[in-house]
Structure 1
Amino acid sequence: MPYPAAAHVRLPSSPLALLVALHIAIVIASNYLVQLPVMLLGFHSTWGAFSFPFIFLATDLTVRLIGKAPARRVIARAMLPALAASYVVGVLFHDGRFNGWGALQDFNTFVFRIAFASFAAYVLGQLLDIQVFDRIRQKSRAWWLAPAAASLFGQALDTAAFFSIAFWRSSDPFMAANWVEIAAVDYAIKLAVSLLLFVPAYGVVLAAIVRSMRAQDGVPTAAAG
């Protein structure tokens, strides 16, 4: 049964700050994990494919509950700290091992390129996700259609932007030779994870939040429909 539209509410600064922190943490984790290759069914991919869909879940719930403007504010506040933190973490843990604080003394162009690619992909992918999600949400009462479509388009742009900026003619021979294959597999994994796991999770979390909001407003659960 489609969920009724939840009223947009004005969140205080601290929940928005928590969303910003969540976005930054996921970007940092994904930038680290994308350096760790993995073979899946004979195809090259990275562990970052399994972490980044969390951002789309958080963004879609934000748009659904409080609207496009707050979701865009989250992105605006998260993007520069995420860029800086991603670079620092990427340098310290380059190649999946701790390289010591002294590694920060020299500017690492390879890691900065990954961090900047993540910055560009994050902004482009999330803004497209918000636009697609909000447009479909207003036209369809099927609760699953908006997050599914937003993931389909948002993650396609995010993946294409990230891998092309980060690894086209990269100084890393493996990534330079395999980034197109890795990007395609990465997108397929992220889309599968989103559709099979995060879209249902979106529905469960949304239903719980709507029930909580109705209970606070004194609306009986049985009457909520």
Structure 2
Amino acid sequence: MTSAIAFTAPTRRALVLAALAMAVVVLASNILVQYAINDWLTWGAITYPFAFLVSELANRAHGPAHARRIAYVGFAVAVMASLLLAPARIALASGLAFACSQLLDIHVFHRLRNGRWWRAPLIATLLAALLDTAVFWSIAFAGEDLPWVTWAIGDLGVKLAMGVLLLLPFRLWIGRRANGRSRS
């Protein structure tokens, strides 16, 4: 039962830093998605999976309510900044995709948190990346004379690969917490 888990309350500083990290990742991704690396990939695919890492670390330590709070604040800051620094269609598509995929990530992670250490972050990231990619690319670039479907598929592949690679920092972080301050 996940309802019996006792979470530690985050400090105000931890909440601010996590929300700032979320906003920076999303803003950077919104800017970088406009720059193609090649015919099937943009730079935004490399940075965006860090948003899932931020919410999963917050969820692991402080629970889904705090992870959602961080996602909401990060979302608001990133969308406002993106409206100033990226085209409106990208900012709006990103905002919708971010909200949907982060809430899915937080929910799935929380439901799977009691299994093996890698299961919750891996499955939550994979499902959220699929949703994020479908929502973002179908809104941001549909109707454009660009190879956006190819970019969407390439970006999804990189997001999935990054989701696997980001298991290492996730594991290191939870191991540090288990050996240090508290077990979450």
TM-score using structure 2 length: 0.92
For each residue in 1:57-100, what CA deviation from the matched residue of structure 2 results, as whole angstroms up to 9, or x when unmatched?
1111111111000011112222222111012122xxxxxxxxxx
Instruction: Kindly indicate whether residue 138 of structure 2 is the aligned counterpart of residue 164 of structure 1.
Output: yes
Question: Which residue does 1:213 correspond to in 2?
Answer: 181
Q: How does 1:118-157 map to 2 (within 5 A)?
A: 118-138=94-114, 140=115, 142-157=116-131
SS of 1:10 mapped into structure 2: coil
CA contact (8 A) 2:40 2:153 kept: no
Partner of 1:63: 59
| Residue 76 (structure 2) pairs with residue 76 (structure 1) | no
| 1:193 partner SS | helix
Q: Is the 8 A contact 1:7 1:65 kept in 2?
A: no
- 1:166–1:182 CA distance, 2 compared to 1 (3 A): same
State the Cα distance separating 1:179 from its structure 2 match. Answer: 1.2
Post-superposition offset of 1:162: 0.6
SS at match of 1:213: coil
Asked whether the 8 Å contact 2:29–2:47 carries over to 1, the reply is: yes
Distance 2:179 2:82 in 1: 37
Secondary structure of 1:129's match? helix
Aligned to 1:188: 157
One-letter identity of the residue aligned with 1:118: S
1:29 aligns to what? 28
List gaps (5 residues or longer) in structure 1. Answer: 1-5, 91-110, 215-223
The alignment covers a number of residue pairs equal to 180
Report the aligned-residue RMSD: 1.7
d(CA) in 1 for partners of 2:41, 2:32: 11
Identity %: 37
Structure 2: runs of 5 or more not aligned = none
Aligned partners of 1:26 and 1:52 also within 8 Å = yes
Q: How does 1:105-116 map onto structure 2 within 5 Å?
A: 111-116=87-92
